[in-house]
Structures are given as C-alpha cells and as structure tokens.
Amino acid sequence: MKVKINIDGGSRGNPGPGASAYVIYDMSDTIISQEGYFIPHCTNNQAEYTALKLALIKCQELGATELFIEGDSQLLVKQFTGEYKIKNPDLQARMQVIRHLAKKFTIHIKHVLREFNKAPDSLANEAMDLKESVGFNPIKYLPEDDEILSTPVKPAQDTLVNGVKVTPVKRDKPAKKTPPKEPLQPSLFDF
C-alpha cells in the first residue's frame, strides 16, 4: 500500500515543551491517521526526528509498503538521505532507530516549504497548547527505541537513495590471473 505523509515537529523555547506530528493520507488524499505527540522537553530537531519515527511506526501498523514523505526540516531530510552528516550524538542515536524502521519500506522523502506542511504543524501546535497528545487513529503501541533496534527486519525489496531507486550490485568474481608461461627454449645439448 502506498501512502503520503507530512511530518513536523517543534519546541517552544528550544529546548522546552514540544510536539511531533504526522498526517498520513492514502493516495486519494484521504486522511487515514494523524497524531500530534506531546513531548514535555525537547529541541526542535528532536521533535522533527520523533515525527519521522512515529510516522514510520504507524505506517508499519497500517501495512504500508511505499511512503512518500514530506517535511519542512531541510536538516532532517538531508541527514536522512546522507547528504548531511549527523554530528550530534543524540540525533545519531535517533537516526539509527529511524533507519532501522525505514528498512521495511520503499521511501521517497523530500523537503517542502512550511506553507505546504500546515496540517502537521497545526497538530503539533495543538498538542503543545493542550500539553497532551491528540489524534485520529493514532499509534496503538509505541515501542521503546531498544525494542525497535532489537527487532530483526527484512528490508524492502526496492530501496530509494537520494530519490533514485537502487538495487544491490552483483558482480562476477574476477578470473584468477595465471602467471605467463615462460617460452620453451630448446636445450643446446638435446640434438
């Protein structure tokens, strides 16, 4: 099943109280799940990363296989695709969990401007205002990160790297090089 996803996260005070949000649509733009997840204390980047993690967990629950993800955090998108390095140890650990979850899917991810990401932004702000999570068809069971990492994953058949579908390369083993044969020279004494 293919789904479209918008993600966003924010923090008031950075760090301070924050929220992560995702909105998942079917391919005809009907909302099938949305959640604003309240976080008592986080940074903006932690909230953005958590939004992607939550969306992946919900997509697994829904049985989705191909995800078209849009987010307004250029940092998150470029770090996910490997275009930017992740220097912060906390974000490195979070990305490890995200990448583990992402193995199950074919993922298309891109950065969009804020004005094209209003639905998850509204949900995140609602959760921050109420100081509690809000949503429609939210995640039923939210595993801890160590539980996620200890679960074996069968990767998706197709993978997407930087917007390009890639498949494993199979190479033939090179033939062994044999040393050149020395030319036979007649013996001077064999007449």
Indicate the pLDDT class of residue 119, thresholds 50, 70 and 90: very high
**Phi-psi bin for 172: left (phi > 0), alpha (psi -120 to 50), beta?**
beta
Q: Taking residues 51-57, report their average pLDDT.
A: 97
Q: H/E element holding 121?
A: helix 118-130
Report the candidate in 53, 109, 100 with the shortest Cα–Cα distance to residue 81: 109
Give the rounded percent of residues in the chain with a pLDDT score beyond 70.
81
pLDDT exceeds cutoff 90 at 110: yes
pLDDT at 58: 97
Q: Which residue has 């275009």 as its token pair? A: 83
Q: Taking residues 13-29, report their average pLDDT.
A: 96
pLDDT at 71: 97
pTM: 0.81
Domains defined for the chain, CATH in brackets: 2-166 (3.30.420.10)
pLDDT tens for each residue of 125-152: 999 999 999 999 999 999 999 999 998 8
pLDDT at 184: 61
Q: How far is CA 33 from CA 43, 81, 104, 127, 170, in A?
A: 25, 25, 19, 15, 39
How far is it, in rounded angstroms, from Cα 172 to Cα 130? 60
- Lay out the sheet containing 2-11: strands in order across: 106-111, 66-71, 2-11, 16-25, 31-42, 134-136
Q: Are 19 and 82 in contact (CB under 8 A)?
A: no
| SS3 per-residue string spanning 149-178 | HCCCCCCCCCEEECCEEECCCCCCCCCCCC
pLDDT tens for each residue of 75-105: 999 999 999 999 999 999 999 999 999 999 9
How far is it, in rounded angstroms, from Cα 139 to Cα 59? 9
Q: Which residue has 């949305």 as its token pair? A: 34
Q: 97: which 2 tokens?
A: 């969990």
pLDDT at 72: 97
